[in-house]
């Protein structure tokens, strides 16, 4: 079944009269290709056969792609040489890779083994695989997922499981001291509300002045922009829903997802005011949505996108909800059968 990344809860509900309904998660297990897609939706396959892949992120120079492949390992694809190399292959789960602004490090969250005995913890390691990994966030019962670094590489914006009920997620920041060691994480803003399948995913603007993120303040997930470090206003960028904001590094343009479509919105800045234009659809139904993980990234010039596709660019068909009548009667029969077998 589909599940919430923050707590493992499945998409399941039941009524008082014994009727149950659930969503199957089988579609997420299918095989995928890593593709480079232009602004018209034309895709070129880069990496074939990457099952369960998620969270593609393009390096600052636009030449490499980090992504999660199969059972929680981070891999790096070199677009110049055409090679795919594992960066993390160990027990547990490594996910949500992001690049440092200088391209020297890859930051990711990790759970399992002795590293993170509780929730997911954030680490970074050199992108060439040399040297030891560095732990950035403390071990915590709550999980943390890296989202973006400030342009100067001194502040990490990340998602952290909410302290109120354990849902996903609140926005936090972590600052690196002058000696390079991480300081205590700080919560960033208290006025956001997210859905189970849409992380805030805070993204620093190229000049470091703004953070774009998604929030369900209005009931549906929308893209907002706020000043960093604040205080200041809050501007809604999307108009009909959105998640996974991504900035173009070379122009005043912001991209985001909505219903398997990639949209673009231009923006202007006047003083301390952020002014967004009208979003326009670049293409739709070309990429495979990977929520609650991230689904796409943009190249630095904003002319191409990296995402996942099935062979021929077709999308998976997510199954309809399954309805089970008299669910409790079936449970009672299973319990009675188990008790009878135990007594024999």
Q: What is the 3-state secondary structure (H, E, C) of 191-227?
A: CCCCECCECCCCEECCCCCEEEEEECCCCCCEEEEEE
Q: Which residue has the tokens 């689904």?
A: 295
Cα 260 to Cα 33, 107, 225, 282, 307: the distances in Å are 16, 26, 21, 11, 11
DSSP track, 33-98: EEEEEETTS-EEEEE---TT-EEEEE-TTSSEEEEEETTTEEEEEETTTTEEEEEE-SSSEEEEEE
Give 5's pLDDT tier (boundaries 50, 70, 90): very low
State mean pLDDT over 105-112.
Answer: 89
Among the residue ranges 106-110, 154-158, 305-309, 337-341, the one predicted with the least confidence is 337-341
Flag whether pLDDT at 133 surpasses 60: yes
Q: What is the pLDDT of residues 34-56, one digit of tens each?
A: 999 999 999 999 999 887 889 99
User: Percent of the chain at pLDDT above 90?
Assistant: 55
Domain ranges of the chain: 32-343
- What pLDDT does residue 168 have? 74
- What pLDDT does residue 135 have? 93
- What pLDDT does residue 223 have? 95
User: Percent of the chain at pLDDT above 70?
Assistant: 74
- What pLDDT does residue 22 have? 47
State mean pLDDT over 266-284.
Answer: 95
State mean pLDDT over 318-342.
Answer: 53
Q: Which of 147, 139, 141, 182 is nearest to 161 (CA)?
A: 141
Among the residue ranges 59-63, 77-81, 169-173, 210-214, the one predicted with the least confidence is 169-173
Give 61's pLDDT tier (boundaries 50, 70, 90): very high
Give 152's pLDDT tier (boundaries 50, 70, 90): very high
Higher pLDDT, 82 or 326: 82
- What pLDDT does residue 197 have? 53
State mean pLDDT over 306-310.
Answer: 92
State mean pLDDT over 195-200.
Answer: 66
Give 222's pLDDT tier (boundaries 50, 70, 90): very high
Give 65's pLDDT tier (boundaries 50, 70, 90): very high
- What pLDDT does residue 312 have? 57
Q: What is the pLDDT of residues 239-257, one digit of tens each?
A: 999 999 999 998 899 999 9
- What pLDDT does residue 277 have? 96
Give 90's pLDDT tier (boundaries 50, 70, 90): low
State mean pLDDT over 207-232.
Answer: 90
Average pLDDT of the chain to the nearest whole number:
82
Question: Number of helices (H) and strands (E), helices first, in the chain?
Answer: 1, 28
Architecture of the domain whose range is 32-343: 6 Propeller (2.120)
Listed as own residue / partner, the contacts of 183-189 with beta carbons closer than 8 Å and 24 or more positions apart are 185/137, 185/138, 185/144, 185/158, 185/160, 187/160, 188/157, 188/230, 189/226, 189/230
* Rounded-to-integer distance, Cα 212 and Cα 204, Å: 7
Q: H-helix or E-strand containing 334?
A: helix 327-343
Cα 193 to Cα 129, 164, 196, 222, 276: the distances in Å are 37, 12, 10, 10, 21
Q: What is the pLDDT of residues 310-328, one digit of tens each?
A: 875 555 444 445 565 655 5
* Rounded-to-integer distance, Cα 95 and Cα 74, Å: 7
- What pLDDT does residue 8 have? 45
Give 73's pLDDT tier (boundaries 50, 70, 90): confident
- What pLDDT does residue 83 have? 95
* Rounded-to-integer distance, Cα 27 and Cα 315, Å: 10
């Amino acid at each position: 079944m589909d599940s919430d990344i923050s707590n493992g809860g499945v998409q399941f509900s039941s009524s008082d009269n014994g009727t149950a309904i659930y969503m199957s998660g089988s579609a997420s297990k299918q095989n995928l290709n890593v593709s480079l897609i232009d602004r018209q939706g034309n895709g070129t396959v880069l990496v074939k056969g990457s099952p369960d892949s998620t969270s593609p992120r393009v390096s600052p120079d636009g030449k490499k792609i980090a992504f999660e492949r199969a059972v929680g390992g981070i891999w790096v694809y070199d677009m110049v040489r055409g090679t795919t190399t594992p960066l993390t292959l160990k027990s547990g789960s490594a996910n949500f890779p992001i690049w440092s602004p200088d391209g020297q490090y890859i930051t990711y969250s990790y759970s399992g083994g002795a590293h993170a005995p509780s929730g997911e913890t954030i680490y970074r390691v050199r992108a060439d695989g040399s040297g030891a990994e560095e732990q950035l966030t403390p071990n915590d019962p709550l999980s943390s997922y890296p989202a973006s670094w400030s342009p100067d590489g001194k502040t990490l914006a990340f998602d952290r499981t909410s302290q109120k009920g354990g849902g996903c997620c609140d926005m936090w920041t972590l600052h690196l001291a002058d000696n390079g060691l991480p300081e205590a994480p700080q919560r960033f803003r208290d006025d956001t509300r997210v859905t189970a399948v849409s992380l805030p995913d805070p993204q620093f603007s190229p000049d470091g002045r703004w953070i774009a993120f998604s929030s369900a303040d209005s009931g549906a997930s929308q893209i907002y922009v706020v000043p960093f470090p604040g205080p200041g206003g809050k501007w809604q960028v999307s108009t009909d829903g959105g998640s996974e904001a991504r900035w173009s590094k070379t122009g005043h343009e912001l991209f985001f997802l909505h219903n398997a479509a990639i949209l673009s919105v231009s923006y202007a800045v006047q003083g301390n005011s952020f002014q967004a234009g009208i979003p326009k659809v670049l293409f739709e139904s070309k990429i495979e949505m990977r929520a609650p993980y991230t689904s796409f990234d943009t190249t630095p010039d904003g002319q191409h996108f990296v995402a996942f596709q099935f062979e021929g660019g077709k999308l998976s068909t997510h199954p309809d909800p399954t309805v089970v009548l008299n669910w409790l009667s079936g449970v009672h029969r299973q319990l009675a059968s188990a008790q009878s077998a135990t007594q024999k």
